[in-house]
Structure 1
Amino acid sequence: MIEVEAVKTKAEIATVEHLLRKHKGDVYGDIWRIGVNLALRISDLLAIEYGALDTERRELRLVEGKTGKARTLRLNDTVLKLVERRRQEHPTDRYLFQTHANRSKAMQKPIGRVTVAKAFKEIGDILRVRLGTHSMRKSRGWAMYSDGVPVEMVSKVLNHSSPAVTMTYLGITKAEVMQTYEDYEL
Structure 2
Amino acid sequence: MCEVHAIKDADTIRLISHLLSIRVSKQMSDVWNIGINLALRISDLLSIQFSDIQGDRLILRESKTGKVANIQLNAKAQILINDIKLRHPNHVYLFQSYRSRQTKYRKPKPLTRRAVCDAFRLVGEELNLNLGTHSMRKTRGYMLYQKTQDLGRVMKMLRHSQESATLRYIGITQDEIDCDFKELEL
- Scaled by the length of structure 2, the TM-score of the pair is 0.95
Question: 2:31 touches 2:95 (CA, 8 Å); kept in 1?
Answer: yes
2:133 aligned with 1:133, yes or no?
yes
Query: Partner of 1:86: helix, strand, or coil?
Result: helix
Query: Partner of 2:60: helix, strand, or coil?
Result: strand
Please name the residue that 2:102 is paired with.
103
What is the CA-CA distance between 1:184 and the residue it aligns to? 1.2
Give the root-mean-square deviation of aligned CA atoms. Answer: 1.1
Please name the residue that 1:122 is paired with.
122
Please name the residue that 2:175 is paired with.
175
2:40 aligned with 1:40, yes or no?
yes
Amino acid at match of 1:84: N
How far apart in 1 are the matches of 2:159 and 2:48? 17
Please name the residue that 2:25 is paired with.
25
Query: Partner of 2:177: helix, strand, or coil?
Result: helix
What is the CA-CA distance between 1:180 and the residue it aligns to? 2.4
- Scaled by the length of structure 1, the TM-score of the pair is 0.95
Query: Partner of 1:32: helix, strand, or coil?
Result: helix
Please name the residue that 1:72 is paired with.
70
What is the CA-CA distance between 1:39 and the residue it aligns to? 0.4
Partner of residue 90 from structure 2, selected from 92, 109, 128 = 92
Amino acid at match of 2:57: E
Query: Partner of 2:148: helix, strand, or coil?
Result: coil
Question: 2:5 touches 2:171 (CA, 8 Å); kept in 1?
Answer: no
Amino acid at match of 1:172: I
Query: Partner of 1:60: helix, strand, or coil?
Result: strand
What is the CA-CA distance between 1:26 and the residue it aligns to? 0.5
How far apart in 2 are the matches of 1:24 and 1:103? 20
The more displaced of 123-132 and 162-171 is 162-171
How far apart in 2 are the matches of 1:122 and 1:149? 32
How far apart in 2 are the matches of 1:63 and 1:37? 18
Amino acid at match of 1:143: M
Query: Partner of 2:185: helix, strand, or coil?
Result: coil
What is the CA-CA distance between 1:173 and the residue it aligns to? 2.4
Structure 1: runs of 5 or more not aligned: none
Question: 2:6 touches 2:171 (CA, 8 Å); kept in 1?
Answer: no
Consecutive aligned runs of 4 or more in structure 1 exceeding 4 Å deviation: none
